[in-house]
Amino acid sequence: MKRGKRYVQLVVLAFIAGIGSWSIAHYEDLVPRRWEEVRPSGDEFSVDLPGKAKIQDRQVPSGEGRVATLHVISTVTRDGTYYGCAYIDDPNFEQMSTDEVLTSVQNETVHNVDGILVSQKQATIGGYPAREIQARARGGSFLDSRLIAVRKRMYMLSVITTAPQNRNSRDINRFFDSFKTIGK
């Protein structure tokens, strides 16, 4: 009888150890994403990202031989989903209607992912004109983007999922809804 009891104890212990090992190996899958608020120094907005933010600046053509700085704050999750908030101050925006600016940025955003526009919807975010778009992108990816025109600044929040099963509407909405303008 003692031997049978010891055997059962070993099986239970092995089972518990197996569950513990599996839980550690799949920690990122089991625990909700850790969202971090990002508020770039001196900037007039904040946004939450599901992970550590990477911040990059690059020069892009702005028309008439001018160059503007595109600021990008982004992260890529373990499942390969890209979350990014890009913004640009472009004096050319002041010479265009808001609809023209949104259309121009929408077309460039879809073009940059070799995409095909699936849907677009006008919106107002924080009192500012905006547009929400969805597009099928290269390699079977999917783009969800929210474009927000704030005076001469354009904010572009984008989520690119690499596989349909990774597209999480709750996380996409959380990311989009976390965007807040501050001051001015």
Identify any residues that bridge with 16 across adjacent strands, giving them in sequence order. Answer: none
Of the CATH numbers 3.40.50.970, 3.30.70.270, 1.20.58.100, 3.40.1000.10, which one belongs to the domain with range 34-181?
3.40.1000.10
| Half-sphere exposure at residue 10, Cβ-oriented, CA atoms within 13 angstroms | 6
Q: Per residue of the chain (184 residues), give pLDDT as tens.
A: 566 666 565 555 555 655 555 555 544 554 456 899 999 877 789 999 999 999 999 998 876 678 889 999 999 999 999 999 999 988 778 888 999 999 999 999 999 999 999 999 999 999 999 999 999 999 999 999 999 998 888 999 999 999 878 899 999 999 999 999 886 5
Global pTM exceeds 0.75: yes
AA letter at 126: G
32: tokens are 């909700």
Helices and strands in the chain, H and E counts: 4, 10
- CA 102 to chain centroid, in Å, comes to 19
Interior/surface letters 99-131, b for 16+ CB within 10 angstroms, e for the rest? eebbebbbeebbeebebeeeebeeeebeeebbb
Question: DSSP label at 114?
Answer: T
